[in-house]
A = this chain, B = another copy of it.
Amino acid sequence: MASPPSERVRVRRLPKRGAYDRQTIDAILDEGLVCHLGFVVDGEPRVIPTGYARDGDRLLLHGSRSSAAMRVLAGGGPACATVTLLDGLVLARSAFHHSMNYRSVVVLGTGVEVVDVAEKLEALRVLTDHLVPGRSADARGASASELALTTVVALPLDEASAKVRVGGPVDDAADHDLPVWAGVIPLALGHRSPIPDTEVPPGGPAPTYVTSYRRP
């Protein structure tokens, strides 16, 4: 286990669940689809779900130029982006030791707006391909006006930590003989067969990256 890059992101509660190596952090970020982006407005917290993508050593975020989150981040306000993958419900013999299996990453930092047009187009490509790898080769890219309506912000991964719980329940020894079933109900985000656009039916069949869709 690597050391935390800063005191701010050190996992304090249940520190043995903390991890700071980029391999662990990157794998969680690359599997997730939505981050919960925290920012501060008038001293109060706001948390919104939003898409993201990891691009090397930074997290890319995007949104409408007029969104509160993008205005705060592009303005240099502090941010916290949290990605959580839920892996199971952990049923212990005691209510107290009930838990969840999960893998989460918290990224703290300050965003940098991506303004260079070529870099912004590339960031949008990475964001599209994070959702559906391969999609950017087919979808029409952003026009100049779409680009102007969109703010892209990069959040460096300098201050990031992962927290992971795996495995079964951990009961107190005194509870081991209780006549209570204990174990895990595994959970996972799954996908079903793609549904073609019903308003304007597409002219051809779904591409392989859609029919064989899976998260990394």
Closest B residue to A170 by CB, please name it: B199
The answer on a CB contact under 8 Å between A45 and B49 is no
Residues in B with CB closer than 8 Å to A200 are 171, 176, 182
Given A44-B78, A106-B48, A142-B95, A181 contacting B204 (CB threshold 8 A):
yes
Residues in B with CB closer than 8 Å to A155 are none
A197: contacting residue among B146, B182, B206, CB under 8 A: B182
The answer on a CB contact under 8 Å between A40 and B39 is no
Closest B residue to A100 by CB, please name it: B51
Q: In the bound complex, what is the Cα–Cα distance between A87 and B169 (angstroms)? A: 29
Residues in B with CB closer than 8 Å to A116 are none
Range class of the A interface residue count: 35 or more
Residues in B with CB closer than 8 Å to A104 are 48-49
Using CB atoms and an 8 Å cutoff, list the residues of chain A in contact with chain B.
Answer: 8, 12-13, 33-34, 36-40, 43-49, 51, 63-64, 66-68, 78-82, 84, 86, 89, 91-96, 98, 100, 102, 104, 106, 108, 124-125, 128, 131-132, 135-136, 138-143, 146, 150, 168-171, 175-176, 178-200, 202-207, 210, 213
Extra 16 A-B pairs, beta carbons < 8 Å, given A39-B45, A182-B200: A36-B36, A43-B43, A44-B108, A45-B47, A45-B78, A47-B80, A49-B82, A91-B210, A95-B128, A95-B135, A96-B142, A98-B139, A140-B180, A182-B196, A183-B196, A183-B202
